[in-house]
Amino acid sequence: MRRAVKLFEALVAIAIVLAAGLFVGSEWIIGRNHAVPDDRVAIPRDPAAIAEGGRLARLAGCRGCHGPNGEGRVWASDRLTGTIAPPALARKLAGYSDAELVRLIRYGVKRDGSTLFRMPSRALGSWADDDLGRIIAWLRTLKPGAGDSRVETSYGPLPRLGMLTGSLEESVRHVRLAPAHRPPETGRYVYDTACAACHRLGDDHAPGDGPVAPALAPRAAGQGPAAFHRLLRTGMERHGRDRGPISAVARDAVHALGDMEIAALHAYLRGEAARLGR
């Protein structure tokens, strides 16, 4: 009996040490400082630019993750995951300068230099200066509301273990990807900014900021222009068939693409599929 008690005590001690190591190690990752470029982006104030910023914020996923009007959401809350809650934007960003907001969105770094997690900074970092300025202009119009979420993110053991093993990557990006202006050839630009957070071009299993999703180029190559347009605009295939997650994303975000943007994206993806032999 005594040996069993000692074994139990040893196992408890080991569990405590492992839990402490998990917490301390993940806290160091969460709190460490990151140096990133200090980009300066002009923020427009005219109504047309603000309206376009609202459209781009939908394509960027801001309104999908944080709520249609930036009111915040709770994605998950349980003992293993903790609480994952994209915050209410107006409240969270009120203390940010425009320059700090550029760093937050483009490079995934907060005011104190620490990084975010689960923010698709690879895609967000691809928005051109003028488009990012429009998104920030729209964000500045948001006001705190009675319905805003006050829930804060707190990580449980599973995401903390992911931080230590690398399966949950930091959102920080150290290299500028964005052009100064929206390029005239918009197909690749739409892919980089609106699709690349979840989809890779030709590899279903390539790592990314978002969930694993089907490779986009071969899927697009297998559809004609009208079918591709219908899918992105409505989320439905021919005969009204729902495509699950892609349909939800279409209804939530990519339906905001213009007709010419959809056509350019389709042409780009078909060209990439041919280049990749898919």
Strand order in the sheet with 82-84: 76-78, 82-84, 154-155
pTM of the model: 0.87
Point out the domain boundary residue: 178, 195, 229: 178
Do 38 and 72 belong together in one domain?
A: yes
Do 242 and 158 belong together in one domain?
A: no
Let me know: does 123 contact 197? Beta carbons within 8 Å. yes
Do 193 and 155 belong together in one domain?
A: no
Judged against a pLDDT cut of 90, whether residue 278 lies above it is answered with no
Two structure tokens written together for 192: 């980089």
Q: What is the pLDDT of residue 51?
A: 97
Q: What's the CA angle centered on 133, arms 132 and 135, to 5 degrees?
A: 65
Which CATH number fits the domain that encloses residue 260? Answer: 1.10.760.10
Do 112 and 39 belong together in one domain?
A: yes
The count of domains in the chain is 2
Do 51 and 17 belong together in one domain?
A: yes
Query: Within 10 A of 58 (CB to CB), how many other CB atoms are there?
Result: 21
Mean pLDDT across the stretch 138-143? 95
Point out the domain boundary residue: 154, 178, 202: 178
Judged against a pLDDT cut of 60, whether residue 44 lies above it is answered with yes
Do 169 and 257 belong together in one domain?
A: no
**3 state DSSP class of 243:** coil
Range of the domain at 18: 1-178
Two structure tokens written together for 160: 């903390």
Do 130 and 31 belong together in one domain?
A: yes
